[in-house]
Structure 1
């Protein structure tokens, strides 16, 4: 047993095997992270907003978790393989190789339309828009605001969101539309104390 552990540790610490081991660990981390993020999210959203039998609900939760985990794992593999190949050709990572590798992996894995990929892509979009705004100030392309920008950011985001909901709701993502309907439309309707406070309708 000790000799087996010693052999495993010698392989894990050998630089020669590091690129292959990094792929294995990247795949593993994609699976674990996908499960940690998607399972609780799907569990909550399914039981709050979806109808169907208990078996159908759990099947949907497991399918969404599988898709999210698999996609993160394979994205990581493709990204690492392409960046490794480009680095071998160019001797070092650069902006172009990173963008190209991520674009290839994104197109291959997250370019297939399904609800999970839609949510992941929209999550990333919101984060990069926010990050690019901060970067533009950091680089001096935009003057640093004299007051905290976050309240204005919140005002703009919520203002546009509710305008779209009130006038063009069919273009909104399904889960966002469901959430807003629950908050803003369903709260206008009730027939008795029971559907006023106990349950929605």
Structure 2
């Protein structure tokens, strides 16, 4: 047993095996992170908004968790393989390598339409738009705000969201539309104390 552990440790600390081990660890981290992020989210959203039997709900939760974990794992591996190959060809990593590798991995893994991929891509889109706005100020492309910009950002986001919900709700993502229907439409309807306070309808 001690010999086996010693052999494993010698492999893990040997730089010769590091690229392969980084792929394995990246795959592992993708699976773990995907499960940690998706399982609780699916659990809450499914039991709050989805109908069906308990078995159907559990199957949906596990399927979404599996897709998210698998996709993050494969994206990580594909990205690392391509950046590693490009770095080997050109001796050092650069901006083009990163963008090309991530684009290919994104197209391959997250380019297949399903609800999980839609949510992941929309999450990333919102984060990069926010980040690019901050980067534009940092680089001097946009003037530095004289007042805290977050309140105006919140006002714009929520103003557009509710306009779309009220007038073009069919274009909204299903989960967003369900959430907004629950908050803004269902709160206008009740028939008794029971569906006023205890049940939605």
Q: TM-score, normalised to structure 2's length?
A: 0.99
Q: In 2, Cα distance between the equivalents of 1:50 and 1:121?
A: 22
Q: In 1, Cα distance between the equivalents of 2:93 and 2:189?
A: 58
Segments of 5+ residues of structure 2 without an aligned counterpart are none
In the alignment, what sits opposite 1:96?
96
Q: In 1, Cα distance between the equivalents of 2:27 and 2:8?
A: 19
Quote the offset at 1:86 in angstroms.
0.7
Q: TM-score, normalised to structure 1's length?
A: 0.99
Quote the offset at 1:89 in angstroms.
1.1
Q: In 1, Cα distance between the equivalents of 2:21 and 2:74?
A: 15
Alignment length, in residue pairs? 201
* 3-state DSSP of counterpart to 2:190: coil
Q: In 2, Cα distance between the equivalents of 1:105 and 1:92?
A: 20
* Alignment RMSD: 0.4
Q: In 2, Cα distance between the equivalents of 1:94 and 1:18?
A: 20
Q: Which runs of 4+ in 1 moved over 6 A?
A: none
In the alignment, what sits opposite 1:50?
50
Q: Deviations over 1:12-52 (max 9, x none)?
A: 00000000000000000000000000000000000000000
Q: In 2, Cα distance between the equivalents of 1:123 and 1:163?
A: 21
Q: In 1, Cα distance between the equivalents of 2:169 and 2:95?
A: 38
In the alignment, what sits opposite 1:17?
17
Segments of 5+ residues of structure 1 without an aligned counterpart are none
Q: In 1, Cα distance between the equivalents of 2:138 and 2:92?
A: 26
